[in-house]
Structures are given as C-alpha cells and as structure tokens.
Chain A
Amino acid sequence: QSALTQPASVSGSPGQSITISCTGTSSDVGGYNYVSWYQQHPGKAPKLMIYEVSNRPSGVPDRFSGSKSGNTASLTISGLQAEDEADYYCSSYTSSSTLYVFGTGTKVTVL
C-alpha cells in the first residue's frame, strides 16, 4: 500500500485561499468517504481538522473545508492566517489489509 500523494509545499499570502490535493486510488480515497486531514505544527502532535471528507470537528474554524472527486481529495484553507503555517497530512481508510494510509505531507507556508 503506497502513501497517498500530496504536493510537498503550498504557499499563500494572508487572506488568500489555498488548496492541498491528496491523490490515492479506488481502494482508498476513491472507494470510501473516509478521508481525514491532520494539521501538525513543528514539534507537536497531529490535530484532526477534517473527517469523512468534509466534516469539521468541533472547534476547527470553518475556513477549513474538504472535498473529494474520484481518487483525489482536497483541503482548502480560506482566509489564510499566520497560524495556519504547518504541515498537513491526509489519510484514508483502505480496503487493503493496511487499513489506514497517510499522505506524503504538505508544508503550508504563509508568505
């Protein structure tokens, strides 16, 4: 089971919107609506930001949104803020014996 593919880096200015893609296969991203996104600041544990493709846990700002089309999921951050600078990982439930697969990670830089 290969890791999901994410761009290594994405950047934007404060107030702008950015989108991070997460590409998998029909056995994971494309086969289930069980894509989640995690935010990780340096030296910190990951934090769940999106689950089931587009649902936000309580306390996560609504400028974070998720979507999916085919085998690719996306995380959009609208109204980018300085505190959004972090690494972001997607994850998907998978039908293979792997059960869970994470993405390669994307570093978001706020210019």
Chain B
Amino acid sequence: QITLKESGPTLVKPTQTLTLTCTFSGFSLSTSGVGVGWIRQPPGKALEWLALIYWDDDKRYSPSLKSRLTITKDTSKNQVVLTMTNMDPVDTATYYCAHSTPVTPCFDYWGQGTLVTVSS
C-alpha cells in the first residue's frame, strides 16, 4: 500500500525559504522508473506541477519556478524534500507530493496535501 504525507510549516513570511518534506511508504525511490513529484494548488485555483525527482536522481523543474526550486531525495529515509526560495503571498497554496509510476507518466498516489500560507 503506497502512502505519502507532506510536512512543513503552515505559515511563512515573504522572502523566506519554504522547506517541505514528503515521507512515503509502500515503494522505494531506488526502484527503476519511480519518481516523486510536487504539485501545488492555490485556494480555488487549478493544479500546477512544480518538480519531479526520479529514482536515478534525475530532477525536473517547472521552468517558471526553476530558479527558486530544489528537489532532493533521501532514499534511506523514504523522503523527498522540496525547497522554494523567496516566498511571496502568491505562493500561498496547498502543496501535494505524489508518486510517479514507473510504467507511464502520471501521478497515481497523492499525499493529503499541506496548506502553506505566505504572510507577514
């Protein structure tokens, strides 16, 4: 059974750096083809893909946010960490991590999401 759970601060100040951790179980990020991605959703708005890290440490980022994002993995801890620098109120959103299947590019398991508010 695959599960994922996001953790991190619920409130950050403008210009601060956000660090979110995705802790997962039921799969290994050392298995060929597997990936973990981050997707966010501002209140009342659509989903936006942010970043993805694969089993071989290949990393992909949304071009519009690439300069602010870093994704890393700790295979031994079953965790993936996303950092986003220079936070702004427009970054207020629910942040989800999700499992990317090794068979086809899509997200088949999602965490419950964590709401991050950016405010002074």
Residues of A in contact with B (beta carbons under 8 Å apart): 1, 3, 34, 36, 38, 45-48, 51-52, 57, 89, 91, 93, 96-105
Contact = CB atoms under 8 A, between A and B. Distances in A.
B111 A102 contact: no
B96 A45 contact: yes
B97 to A, nearest CB: 10
Interface string B90-119: 000000100001001111111111000000
Determine which residue in B60, B109, B110, B112 has the highest number of CB atoms from chain A within 10 A of its CB, and name it: B110
Contacts of B113: 45
Interface of B: 37, 39, 45-49, 52, 60, 62-63, 96, 101, 104-113
Given A89-B47, A97-B63, A34 B108 contact: no
A47 B101 CA distance: 14
Contacts of B107: 36, 38, 46, 48, 91
A47 B110 contact: yes
B112 A104 contact: no
A48 B110 CA distance: 9
A102 B96 CA distance: 14
Contacts of A51: 101, 104, 106, 108
A36 B109 CA distance: 13
A97 B104 CA distance: 18
A46 B105 contact: no
A105 B42 CA distance: 13
Contact of B49 (A45, A47, A100): A100
Top 4 closest pairs, chain A to chain B, by CB: A36-B106, A100-B49, A45-B110, A102-B47
B104 A45 contact: no
B77 to A, nearest CB: 22
B105 A98 contact: no
B46 A34 contact: no
24 contacts: A34-B105, A36-B106, A36-B107, A38-B47, A45-B96, A45-B110, A45-B112, A48-B109, A51-B104, A51-B106, A51-B108, A93-B105, A97-B60, A97-B63, A99-B49, A99-B60, A99-B62, A100-B49, A100-B105, A101-B49, A102-B46, A102-B47, A104-B46, A105-B45
